[in-house]
Amino acid sequence: MNWLHAVILGIVEGITEFLPVSSTGHLNIVEKLLGYDINTVGMTAFTAVIQVGAILAAVVYFWSDIVRIVAAWGQGLVRREARENPDYTLGWGIILGSVPVAVVGLALKDFIEVTARSLWVIAGALIVWSAVMWLADRRTDLSKGMRDVTVKDALIIGCFQALAPVLPGISRSGATISAGLFLRFDRVTATRLSFFMGIPALVAAGLLEAVGEADHIAATVGWGATLIATVVSGLVAYATIAWLLRFVSSNTFTGFLVYRVGLGAAIMALVASGLVTA
């Protein structure tokens, strides 16, 4: 992969990772348009690895929150009175809520890396899940905040998150934000929970691919291009996070839903016409 393509894909990942529009779907589409075979082991691993850059941006952005949650969780393990702190519960929620996506990712690894990457699947998931998000976004009783998160809430959000690797067009953030809204969390809280829930899952997935498929990445995409795309995705993702949190504080997700449906329809038209292979 040449470095220009690496920069382009890093920008795509950085913009789309946390928006409810499917980062993997966008990467697969752009990789196809740039002429790459998205079903090779090297490209699949590249897509997973560069997500680590975006996730590290989230770690940096939410560093003070992460330190506070980890400290509260640690104190709760040794002191009973510390377990009254909502951050202790949130810590357990993030840990346990990350289990479903790990189980699904490992159990369905072959399906995820081949069948789920079809552009027909991505386009269909973009459109169908938009209806789910529309229903979630129509709720008017969004009264719960971060201090109201329970382990049960986190597990439900984690189960929604596990749908994303199976059908990339759903979007991990779209799935988790939808779950948060259905659970009556306000839009900012639902979005912040999406960030927190994604950190352990995506870091683990990216590192697993980096270690397990290092030789395939070196032989196909190349580690130079992979590292460039990862750094670019992190820089762009940091700006995207700041923008998204400001946006959802005073807006619904309607604009994203219109975009998702339009993109899904456009992909179907391109594949049906033969201009792009599925």
Q: What is the C-alpha separation between 187 and 86, in angstroms, rounded?
A: 19
Number of domains in the chain: 1
Give me the domain span that covers residue 254.
Answer: 3-273
What does the pLDDT read at residue 129? Answer: 92
Angle at 99 between CA 96 and CA 102, to 5 degrees: 160
Using the 8-state DSSP alphabet, how is residue 220 labeled? T
What does the pLDDT read at residue 119? Answer: 83
What does the pLDDT read at residue 112? Answer: 61
- 18 touches 54 (CB < 8 A): yes
Within a domain: residue 114? yes
Within a domain: residue 194? yes
What sign results for the dihedral spanned by CA atoms 29, 34, 36, 37?
positive
Within a domain: residue 82? yes
What does the pLDDT read at residue 255? Answer: 93
Within a domain: residue 278? no
Within a domain: residue 11? yes
Q: What are phi and psi of 127, to 5 degrees?
A: -75, -50
Q: What is the C-alpha separation between 162 and 122, in angstroms, rounded?
A: 16
Within a domain: residue 29? yes
Within a domain: residue 16? yes
- 55 touches 206 (CB < 8 A): yes
Using the 8-state DSSP alphabet, how is residue 184 labeled? T
pTM: 0.87
What does the pLDDT read at residue 227? Answer: 93
Mean pLDDT per 10-residue interval, the chain, length 278 residues: 93 92 85 83 83 91 94 92 91 90 74 68 90 91 90 93 83 91 94 90 76 78 91 96 94 93 91 80
Exposure string of 232-254, with b = 16+ CB inside 10 Å and e = fewer, is: bbbebbbebbeebbebbeeeebe
What does the pLDDT read at residue 182? Answer: 95
